[in-house]
Structure 1
Amino acid sequence: MQKVIIPEIADKQTDHYLSKKGYEVLTVTSPDAATILATAPDVAGIMMFVSPFPNDLYDKLPNLKVLARYGVGYDSIDAEYAATKGVWVTNTPGANAISVAENAVTDIMLLSKRSYEMSTLMHQGKIRTAKQLFGHELLGSTVGIVGYGHIGQAVAKMLSGFGVKTLIYNRTKRPTEYGEYVDLETLLKQSDYVTLHIAATKQTEHLIGEKELAMMKTSASLVNLARGSVVDEQALITALNTHQIASAALDVFDEEPLPADSPFYKMDNVFLTPHTASNTVEAGQNMAFGAAKMIDAALSGQKPEWAVNDPQL
């Protein structure tokens, strides 16, 4: 019986799908290198959250055949190296698209209405100060979407009912009725809200840095539900402190969980969430089932539908 390691929550979300398929399922809170080695060095398949999977770990797991990401991004795994070790790497494209897109639109609304600031002041008993804040209507504003995969497309569709102008930056120009493709500079200069939904790669590392932040309007806001590496965090901290941009909503960071001494905690113009944009019952089930099915496919000798590498090459 082949062993698989999966997060405990994923086992519940799939109603023990892999156990019913005949695998020996070992559940852990979150699979990281130390936990994997302590649980089952002879494991054949692992469902991964976002913990890094070091390249030197493969030789310690001789039976490993598949790493299935519970989610879309797989930047914590070197998929090309995994292929050289005969290991499939898979993800679950589109599984969390609606949940993340809804959170992006929610964040844009929170920033536009300054809801977070008002709520914080009210919690502090400063109701008169809260009542003096004024937000903005979205109607007539410009929203820039950086990255136009499943999530970016869903954001554009959702925003279409708000009467906004939508600008899109993406390497591939997919057909769309919900916005206009422009270059990144144009998007940054014209947008009132910039929302990031681009994959984390070497090419997109610090895509938004000091130069790009300086292009944005001083009244503009940035939403990042992609990956921390897409933004130069120190440059963003400076831009927010100096009011180079007005505000930000951040779900991802260079270091996660966000360290207790991060300057972001002291800023009243930043709305923070702990990498939970896909934390809905529906997205969780979609990601868990998708990853479980990829494990089953790989361990059954099939090519997983959502493989991001190919150890057969």
Structure 2
Amino acid sequence: MQKVIIPEIADKQTDHYLTKKGYEVLTVTNPDEATILATAPDVAGIMMFVSPFPNELYAKLPRLKVLARYGVGYDSIDVDYAATQGVWVTNTPGANAISVAENAVTDIMMLSKRSFEVSTLMRQGKLSKAKGIFGHELAGATVGIVGYGHIGQAVAKMLSGFGVKTLIYNRTKRPTEFGEYVDLDTLLKQSDYVTLHIAATEQTTHLIGEKELNMMKPGASLINLARGSVVDEPALISALKSHQIASAALDVFDTEPLPADSPFYQLDNVFLTPHTASNTVEAGQNMAFGAAKMIDAVLSGQTPKWAVNSPQL
């Protein structure tokens, strides 16, 4: 019986799908390096959250055949190196698109109304100051979407009912009725809200840095639900402190969880969430089932539908 390690929550979300398929399922809270080694060095398949999977770990897991990401991004795994070790890496494209897109639109609305600031002041008993804050209507604003995969497309569709102008930056111009394709500089200069939904790659590391932030309007806001590496954090902190841009909503960071001494905690113009944009019942089930099916496909000798590498078998 082949062993698989999966997060406990995923086992519940799939109603023990892999156990019913005949695998020895070992559940853990979070499958990081130490947990994997302590649980089953002879594991054949692992369902991964976002913990890093070091290249040195493959030699310690001789029976490993598949790493299935519970989610879309796979930047915590060197997929090319995994291929040289004969290990498939898969993800679950589109599984969390609606949930993340809804969170992006929610963040845009919160920033436009300055809801977080108002609520914080009210909790502090500063009612007069809270009542003195005025937000903006979203109607008539320009929203720039950076990255037009499943999530970016869902954001554009959702925003189509708000009366906004939507600008899109993406390397591939997919057909759309919900926005206009422009270059990144144009998007940054014209947008009132810039929302990031682009994959983390070497090419997109610090895609938004000091230069790009300086292009944005002083009243503009940045929303990042992609990956922390897409934004130059020190540059963003500086831009928020100096009010080079008005505000930000961040769900992802260079270091996760966000360190307790991060300057972001001291800023009143940034809304922070701990990488939870896909935390809905529906997205969780979609991601868990998708990843479980990829594990079963590989371990039963099939080619996984959502492979992101091509192992040398």
Same fold (TM > 0.5): yes
Q: What's the TM-score bracket when you normalise by the shorter of the two chains?
A: over 0.9
How many matched pairs? 313
**Contact residue 71 and residue 93 of structure 2 kept, 8 A:** yes
CA–CA separation in structure 2 for the residues paired with 1:59 and 1:262 = 36
Partner of 1:106: 106
Q: Secondary structure at the match of 2:166?
A: strand
1:91 equivalent to 2:96? Answer no
Aligned AA for 1:43? V
Q: Residues 48-97 of structure 1, C-alpha deviation per residue, up to 9 Å, x if partnerless? A: 00000000100100000000000000000000100000000000000000
Mapping for residues 14-33 of structure 1, pairs under 5 Å: 14-33=14-33
Q: TM-score, normalised by structure 1?
A: 1.00
CA–CA separation in structure 2 for the residues paired with 1:307 and 1:180 = 31
Q: Residues 15-43 of structure 1, C-alpha deviation per residue, up to 9 Å, x if partnerless? A: 00000000000000000011100100000
Q: Secondary structure at the match of 2:71?
A: coil
Aligned AA for 1:279? N
Partner of 2:166: 166
Q: Secondary structure at the match of 2:144?
A: strand
CA–CA separation in structure 1 for the residues paired with 2:130 and 2:227 = 32
The Cα shift of 1:3 comes to 0.0
CA–CA separation in structure 1 for the residues paired with 2:302 and 2:172 = 30
Partner of 2:79: 79
Partner of 2:280: 280
Percent identity over the alignment is 88
CA–CA separation in structure 1 for the residues paired with 2:214 and 2:65 = 46
Q: Secondary structure at the match of 2:160?
A: helix
Partner of 2:157: 157
Q: Secondary structure at the match of 1:161?
A: coil
Partner of 1:216: 216
Partner of 2:42: 42
The Cα shift of 1:234 comes to 0.2
The Cα shift of 1:248 comes to 0.1
Mapping for residues 1-313 of structure 1, pairs under 5 Å: 1-312=1-312
The Cα shift of 1:219 comes to 0.2
Aligned AA for 1:138? L
CA–CA separation in structure 2 for the residues paired with 1:56 and 1:17 = 30
Q: Secondary structure at the match of 2:130?
A: helix
The Cα shift of 1:280 comes to 0.2
Aligned AA for 2:18? L
Q: Secondary structure at the match of 1:5?
A: strand
**Contact residue 142 and residue 167 of structure 2 kept, 8 A:** yes
**Consecutive unaligned residues in structure 2, runs of 5 or more:** none
CA–CA separation in structure 1 for the residues paired with 2:205 and 2:248 = 19
Q: Residues 247-300 of structure 1, C-alpha deviation per residue, up to 9 Å, x if partnerless? A: 000000000000000111111100000000000000000000000000000000
**Consecutive unaligned residues in structure 1, runs of 5 or more:** none
CA–CA separation in structure 1 for the residues paired with 2:54 and 2:255 = 17
The Cα shift of 1:196 comes to 0.1
CA–CA separation in structure 1 for the residues paired with 2:132 and 2:34 = 52
Q: Secondary structure at the match of 1:291?
A: helix
CA–CA separation in structure 2 for the residues paired with 1:259 and 1:34 = 21
The Cα shift of 1:174 comes to 0.1
The Cα shift of 1:312 comes to 4.2
CA–CA separation in structure 2 for the residues paired with 1:147 and 1:258 = 24
CA–CA separation in structure 2 for the residues paired with 1:259 and 1:62 = 35
Q: TM-score, normalised by structure 2?
A: 1.00
RMSD of Structure 2 on Structure 1 (CA): 0.5
Q: Secondary structure at the match of 1:38?
A: helix
Q: Secondary structure at the match of 2:139?
A: coil
CA–CA separation in structure 1 for the residues paired with 2:234 and 2:16 = 43
Aligned AA for 2:188? L
Aligned AA for 1:11? D
Q: Residues 143-172 of structure 1, C-alpha deviation per residue, up to 9 Å, x if partnerless? A: 000000000000000000000000000000
Structure 1 residue runs of 4 or more that deviate by more than 4 Å after TM superposition: none
**Contact residue 84 and residue 312 of structure 2 kept, 8 A:** no
**Contact residue 85 and residue 312 of structure 2 kept, 8 A:** no
